[in-house]
Copies of this chain bind each other. A is one copy, B any other.
Amino acid sequence: MANITKKVSWSSRGDEGTPLLNGSETRRHSKESSAGGAVFQIGRLSTVDLEEEMMSDEDSVRGRPKEIPHNEKLLSLKYESLDYDNIENQLFLEEERRMSYMGFRCLEISRWVVCGLIGFLTGLIACFIDIVVEQLAGIKYQVVKENIERFTEVGGLSISLILWAVLNSIFVMVGAIIVAFFEPIAAGSGIPQIKCYLNGVKIPRVVRLKTLVVKVCGVICSVVGGLAVGKEGPMIHSGAVVAAGVSQGRSTSLKRDFKIFEYFRRDTEKRDFVSAGAAAGVSAAFGAPVGGVLFSLEEGASFWNQMLTWRIFFASMISTFTLNFFLSIYHKNPGDLSNPGLINFGRFENDSVAYYLYEIPLFIAMGAIGGLLGALFNVLNYWLTIFRIRYVHRPCLQVMEAMLVAAVTATVSFTMIYFSDDCQPLGPEHTEEYPLQLFCADGEYNSMATAFFNTPERSVRSLFHNQPGSYNPLTLGVFTLTYFFLACWTYGLTVSAGVFIPSLLIGAAWGRLCGILLATISATGSIWADPGKYALIGAAAQLGGIVRMTLSLTVILVEATGNVTYGLPIMLVLMTAKIVGDYFVEGLYDIHIKLQSIPFLHWEAPATSHWLTAREVMSSPVTCLNKVEKVGTIVDTLSNTSTNHNGFPVVVQGASSEEPAKLCGLILRSQLIVLLKHKVFVELARSRLTQRKLQLKDFRDAYPRFPPIQSIHVSQDERECMMDLSEFMTATPYTVPQDTSLPRVFKLVRALGLRHLVVVDDENRVVGLVTRKDLARYHLGKHGLEELQLAQT
């Protein structure tokens, strides 16, 4: 029914950087089988739309260069799944049975303790970043401001410009160097990576201590360096790393094992904690604990568990609280906890909080504009990313690009300030910390300078709250335009930085512009069209148009404004922005996930995939092991780099030899490695009866960095020994019959977070194995169901 290319391998070990399959060979193979096209048509359309298909192929050949190593039409074999399903072998069951009710209570309590710790540490990190950024940026602005003021009257402002550009470039250079040379995974906001992790994809090195350190330093450098970035996105990544570290009770990087929380050393528990960490990060960044929980759930949890949700909520709460508490001390107002979050939209408390029915269409229109601008942003950034992948892949080039952007940002800002003649009176209650007089009269300040001469967070707040009339429409228009392109260029640089704040800033600027225009064109305008309100709506529209989150983003924004009244308009705006934006292109994070060919599982199987059954989707043939297997066979199987499987169904032969082998379990590569390392052979067990029985602890100690098979020495004698797997395999793996439809298989895998799903026939014989890549391959394209190629990139 569907023309499907049989795959030879369904999983790779995902060891960092090791090319396990000959890359060119794979490509050749896939080229042969795909007959030159990058996209397969499946089902009924395959015959009808042949011509169109060919055309779209040609398009892609013409439009995009062929050599792009990362491509959204490929699916990388580099990425492994997390095992969200517990390994229920005899050891595990024995441990669980040995545990008393009190034991489970203690475990539960330690889960809460870990979540508390995660929240606390995440809050501290946010606090640290905030204070350091504020101090460093303060010094920088002071220096540049004084310099400009010195040269304003005597002339020679070009020196100020150079000073500013150099200062920015130096900061950005430091940030880019540590990212590019030490930990490239720390680049960007980290949200796509965390999204994938929560989805169940193991992204190498994403939750390591080194990544955290680089991330924190990197984000400080890029924000202080004046790039069009925010420090909020990286907080989510930071929280996740903290969670992955704390919950394991040890640090592999620091070689310290505190011998605590050993029970949590498996993917199931770790992923739960990482959800909590991500939520704590959101919570610290935006002062939005509920938004954080929703973010984690929207991105990650497939199965909603009430207790887990509460723990996530607790971590979020502690995180905001910690940040709040320490910042209140820093701001010399100890104990006042009413202003949470790294970014604070300030309180909307005046009479302008009210909105009227006739404003709803305006809001929806603004949502549509946000969707359009967001789609434009994403398309531009997509092409830029393609360009970067092709031409800017060497670390030193990446550092130079980042420095260039920093210098350009400074120059553009300076030019705009220089040519701006938008002077505003300096009121007694002015909120600007570094008002720049420049060519304005005494007692006035340059309002364009305010927008650039400030951390973006403060600029957003000014746009929301400054009195009507604080900004000149032309200033806002030019600022929007400039900042839009700067932010678009900046996202994807090899620096740690987020896109939330720039998006909000762009949106706030054009939103305020809309408000001003509306107030101008309507007679009684100034009463209802409070520009601050429209700035908020614009900010929501722009952010929604770029990232395309809805529920969690609504809550985050509502929590950040501290006012529920705007809940409904924000929702409407975000929904409109998403609908409009989705018409053109996907969300920014999804684009970047696709460009990295990560096998991301969506919520449901593609709508028209009932045509496919498990038989067509699965990988086969499957390498099975016997319940009692020869060591040599196991070593050979594990060492086979051309198959490189990760999970092996265990079968048992019938009494007579012609009876077929039945499925009786599933064992993972990591388990076999530990067994080989400890030489758990039947012969040895017989001879050395006193030998310590292998325990769960041995598996936990090896988690998560199991050694490669090459590092384990097995002698020729030992190769002849037998291994009894029955105690270690998951005795009751989930199975599906081979006629199961793809949506049904998908639902099972997605809901339970499975890594391997065994496909069996009527007689319980293994016929195939379904993994993440088998499911992620299928997606709905423009011409119906499409199949992505698998590649070893």
Where the two chains meet, the residues of A that have a C-beta atom closer than 8 Å to any C-beta of B are 86, 88, 93, 96-97, 99-101, 104, 289-290, 293, 297-298, 301-307, 309-310, 313-314, 317, 320-321, 325, 328, 334-338, 340, 349, 353-358, 360, 550-551, 554-555, 558-559, 561-565, 567-568, 571-572, 575, 603-604, 607-608, 610-611, 652, 662, 664, 731-732, 734-737, 739-741, 744, 747-748, 751-752, 760, 762-764, 780, 784
CA distance A744 to B86 in the complex (A): 9
Q: Which residue in B96, B572, B747, B780 is a CB contact (below 8 Å) of A752?
A: B747
Q: Are A551 and B303 in contact (CB under 8 A)?
A: no
CB neighbours of A306 from chain B (8 A): 298, 603
User: Chain B residues with Cβ under 8 A from A320's Cβ?
Assistant: 568
Query: When the two chains form their complex, are residues A610 and B96 in contact, meaning their CB atoms are under 8 A apart?
Result: yes
Q: What are 11 inter-chain pairs, A to B, with CB distance below 8 A?
A: A86-B744, A93-B610, A104-B607, A302-B751, A303-B304, A304-B304, A307-B603, A310-B550, A313-B550, A338-B353, A558-B564
Closest to A738 in B: B732
Given known A304-B304, A551-B310, A764-B764, contact A354–B338 (CB-CB < 8 A): yes
Contact A564 to B559, CB < 8 A, known contacts A100-B608, A662-B763, A735-B735: yes
Return chain B residues, CB-CB under 8 Å to A744. Answer: 86, 88, 732
Pair A568/B608 contact, Cβ less than 8 Å: no
Please indicate the chain B residues that have their CB under 8 angstroms from the CB of A360 in the complex.
Answer: 337
Docked complex Cα distance between A302 and B550 (Å): 20
A298-B309 Cα distance, complex, nearest whole Å: 9
CB atoms of A290 and B551 under 8 A apart? yes
A615 to B751, CA, bound (A): 24
Query: Which residue from chain B places its CB closest to the CB of A611 in the assembled complex?
Result: B97
Q: Tell me if A562 and B565 are in contact (CB < 8 A).
A: yes
- Knowing A298-B306, A662-B763, the reply to whether A355 touches B338 (Cβ < 8 A) is yes
Residues of B within 8 A of A568 (CB): 289, 317, 320-321, 337, 340
Q: Are A354 and B340 in contact (CB under 8 A)?
A: no
Q: Which of B313, B357, B762 is the one whose CB lies under 8 Å from A662?
A: B762
- In the complex, chain B residues whose CB is within 8 Å of the CB of A604: 305, 307
- When the two chains form their complex, are residues A736 and B741 in contact, meaning their CB atoms are under 8 A apart? no
Q: Is the CB of A335 within 8 A of B307?
A: no
Are A748 and B739 in contact (CB-based, < 8 A)?
Answer: no
Residues of B contacting A340 with CB < 8 Å? 568
Give the residues in chain B near A325, CB-CB below 8 Å: 357
Q: Which residues of B contact A780 (CB under 8 A)?
A: 101
Name the distance in Å between A398's Cβ and chain B's nearest Cβ.
34
In the complex, the answer to whether A88 meets B741 with C-beta atoms within 8 Å is yes
B559–A562 contact, CB under 8 A?
A: no
Report the minimal beta-carbon distance from A198 to chain B, rounded to whole angstroms.
Answer: 12
* A318 CB to nearest chain B CB (Å): 10
Q: Evaluate contact between B735 and A739: CB separation under 8 angstroms.
A: no
Given A93-B741, A731-B739; A565-B338 close (CB under 8 Å)? yes
